[in-house]
Structure 1
Amino acid sequence: MTQEPVFEESSGNVFADLGLEDADELFTRGKIGIQVLRLLKARDLKQREISELLGISQPEVSHLMKGEFQRFSEGKLLTFLKRLDTEITLHLRPRHEGTTMNETIISL
């Protein structure tokens, strides 16, 4: 007798689905980190070159290239994007309707 597989719809954030406390932060780091990896892979740099470009040690480059984004703060990952000549725009708006806040866009 085979049992039918059970599927559960994702919230879109795997860390939240796993019940992790800092799920939003981990998800944000992951999105930023993936973009950093895409840019680095497109440049086809050696780890030594990445180390110099991003201003981090070779062991840190190794962690970054393995996708271990939890080792880096969101700010550090954003700094990597800036060093990779990426324009960063933050779009700030209320999370919930009815909250008073003017929508703001910040370019870094």
Structure 2
Amino acid sequence: MTARHDGLRKTALGTIGSGNAFADLGLPDPETELTKANVVIDIDGAIEKRGLTHARAARIMGTPASELTKLLCGHTEPYTVDRLKESLSRLSA
């Protein structure tokens, strides 16, 4: 098991996290992972706001629909923050 981040605080009711679950879990590059997660949340919100189907959103983003589905399920490994922001920009245009 991976060592947890030092930012956790114990209280009578349980443990309070640092605000970055990736850091709390001791994952590598937690700031980048948190940024990616937040951009994916924004992508999902843009899709919903515009009332797009996943197929239409994927075409706008220039990615296969299956990849968009994986992305919205949290599979951000193949993406850089810049690429995710570009996809969000395309959806927001």
TM-score, normalised to structure 2, is: 0.76
Please list every run of at least 4 consecutive aligned residues from structure 1 whose deviation after the TM superposition is greater than 4 angstroms. none
Say whether residues 1:11 and 2:39 are aligned partners: no
Map of 1:33 onto structure 2: 40
Say whether residues 1:73 and 2:80 are aligned partners: yes
Q: Which has the higher helix share?
A: 2
3-state SS of paired residue (1:84): helix
Map residues 1-108 of structure 1 onto 2, 5 A cutoff: 7-85=14-92
TM-score, normalised to structure 1, is: 0.66
Quick check: 2:40–2:72 contact (8 Å CA) kept in 1? no
Identity %: 27
Given the superposition, is the C-alpha separation of residues 75 and 31 from structure 1 closer, same or farther in structure 2, using an over 3 Å criterion? same
Between 1 and 2, higher relative CO (CA 8 Å, sep ≥ 6) is seen in: 2
- Structure with higher Rg: it is 1
Q: Provide the aligned length of Structure 1 versus Structure 2.
A: 82
Q: Which segments of 5 or more consecutive residues in structure 1 lack a partner in the other structure?
A: 87-108
Quick check: 1:34–1:67 contact (8 Å CA) kept in 2? no
